[in-house]
């Protein structure tokens, strides 16, 4: 489909993160149990959301931004463990994005069920794995349910 090239790029970008992501997720209990434990949205909260809504975050980025690439790769490393869609928007492709974010990338936002953007504070460049998941819970998932 039309998403194949983008999906391939995401897989390639996430490859560097995969080892670490599996490492923190596997533990002694094994990956399936850990994945279940890492469910990002509590079942009661999920029930209150629209049935067709999938949590999603967007990284506003620009080409040649290692900090942006690192954040996107770390977020993409979570995709295989929790129900989360990660996408990138290159500010060069839209004049409004460029005007708004040219001095601030990477900028992280979460999407709401209504399709609005919810600002998420930028985590530390080293944030990955369980720490990054906790960050997203605090600054995105918990606010979705509020």
For the chain, percent of residues with pLDDT exceeding 70: 65
Is the whole model's pTM more than 0.75, yes or no?
no
Distance CA 133, CA 66 (A): 21
**For the segment 114-139, what is each residue's pLDDT rounded down to a tens digit?**
989 999 999 998 899 999 999 999 99
**Among 25-29, 41-45, 87-91, 140-144, the range of highest mean pLDDT:** 87-91
Under a CB-based contact definition with an 8 Å cutoff, are residues 21 and 128 in contact? yes
pLDDT value for 125: 84
pLDDT value for 145: 83
Domains and CATH numbers, the chain: 4-145 (3.40.30.10)
pLDDT value for 7: 36
**For the segment 44-94, what is each residue's pLDDT rounded down to a tens digit?**
555 555 667 899 999 999 999 999 999 999 999 999 889 899 999 999 999
> What backbone phi and psi angles, to 5 degrees, belong to 142?
-65, -35
pLDDT value for 13: 33
Distances (CA, A) of 104 to 31, 42, 54, 71, 127: 36, 32, 26, 13, 18
């Amino acid at each position: 489909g039309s998403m194949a090239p983008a999906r391939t790029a995401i897989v390639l970008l996430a490859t560097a993160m995969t080892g670490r992501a599996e490492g923190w997720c596997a533990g002694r209990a094994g990956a399936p149990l850990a994945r279940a434990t890492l469910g990002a949205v509590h079942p009661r909260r999920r029930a209150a959301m629209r049935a067709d809504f999938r949590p999603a975050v967007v990284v506003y980025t620009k080409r040649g931004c290692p900090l942006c690439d690192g954040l996107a790769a770390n977020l993409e490393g979570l995709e295989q463990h929790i129900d989360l869609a990660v996408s990138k928007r290159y500010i060069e492709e839209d004049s409004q994005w460029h005007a708004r974010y040219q001095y601030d990338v990477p900028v992280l936002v979460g999407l709401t069920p209504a399709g609005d953007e919810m600002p998420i504070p930028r985590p530390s460049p080293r944030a990955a794995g369980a720490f990054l998941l906790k960050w997203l819970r605090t600054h995105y998932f918990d606010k979705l349910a509020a």
